[in-house]
């Protein structure tokens, strides 16, 4: 069995690999990676990041976003979200955005992974999962980046905040709200 075939034995469909992950099975990892990409076994997602696609009845399935981000960061401490999630709050946001946001402790900037743009943002704190209270606070934190009319959105957010669990919203605001967001929501929560 040649060295390339030996390397292939270790590959699992649906898994994302870093170059360093594969170097333990190959002394010529760069040459083998080039060969595996050329023959279509692996797909190059970004510099040093590769994917062995699962084959479904509809063709090759793309990598799951969480798996892709976890492999890119070499860390499982991140929160994957999107401005599109704000639309579910009923505060007048209706735009659709093409990029996902990744709150994390390591990387900052926009990166294209597997043909999708991810905006990595280093944050000291973020929750383990997205809640409607976090989305409301996060929307106000990112208000300047949205396509909607900020005054109208803030007006709708103030109304929506009154209908939410005040205790949870206060906690999320304290933990994750910017000073501007706190100025907007604190008067509502103290009344």
Verify that 19 and 83 share a domain, yes or no: no
pLDDT for 148-158, tens place per residue?
999 999 999 99
Mean pLDDT of 63-82: 94
Owning domain of residue 25: 3-63
As a whole number of angstroms, the distance between CA 174 and CA 166 comes to: 12
Strands 59-61 and 100-104: unpaired
- In this prediction the pTM is 0.84
Verify that 92 and 51 share a domain, yes or no: no
Verify that 21 and 107 share a domain, yes or no: no
pLDDT band at 3 (very low <50, low <70, confident <90, very high): confident
Verify that 87 and 161 share a domain, yes or no: yes
Mean pLDDT of 65-87: 94
The pLDDT, as a whole number, for residue 87 is: 95
Write out 146-188 in H/E/C secondary structure.
CCCCHHHHHHHHHHHHHCCCHHHHHHHHHHHCCHHHHHHHHHH
As a whole number of angstroms, the distance between CA 92 and CA 74 comes to: 37
pLDDT for 128-166, tens place per residue?
999 999 999 999 999 999 999 999 999 999 999 999 999
Q: Is the pLDDT of residue 48 over 70?
A: yes
Q: Are 104 and 121 in contact (CB under 8 A)?
A: yes
């Amino acid at each position: 069995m040649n060295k390339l075939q030996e390397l292939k034995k270790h590959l699992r469909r649906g898994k994302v690999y870093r170059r360093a992950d594969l170097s333990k099975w190959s002394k010529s990892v760069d040459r083998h990676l080039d060969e595996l990409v050329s023959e279509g076994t692996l797909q190059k997602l970004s510099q040093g990041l590769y994917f062995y696609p699962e084959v479904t009845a509809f063709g090759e399935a793309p990598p799951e976003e969480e798996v892709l981000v976890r492999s890119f960061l070499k860390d499982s401490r991140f929160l994957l979200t999107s401005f599109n999630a704000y639309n579910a709050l009923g505060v007048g946001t209706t735009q659709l955005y093409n990029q996902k946001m990744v709150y994390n402790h390591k990387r900052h900037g926009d990166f294209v992974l597997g043909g999708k743009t991810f905006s990595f943002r280093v944050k000291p704190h973020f929750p383990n999962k997205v809640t409607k209270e976090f989305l409301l606070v996060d929307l106000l934190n990112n208000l300047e980046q949205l396509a909607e009319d900020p005054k109208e959105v803030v007006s709708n957010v103030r109304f929506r905040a009154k209908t939410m669990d005040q205790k949870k919203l206060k906690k999320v605001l304290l933990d994750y709200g910017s000073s501007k967001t706190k100025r907007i929501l604190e008067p509502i929560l103290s009344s």
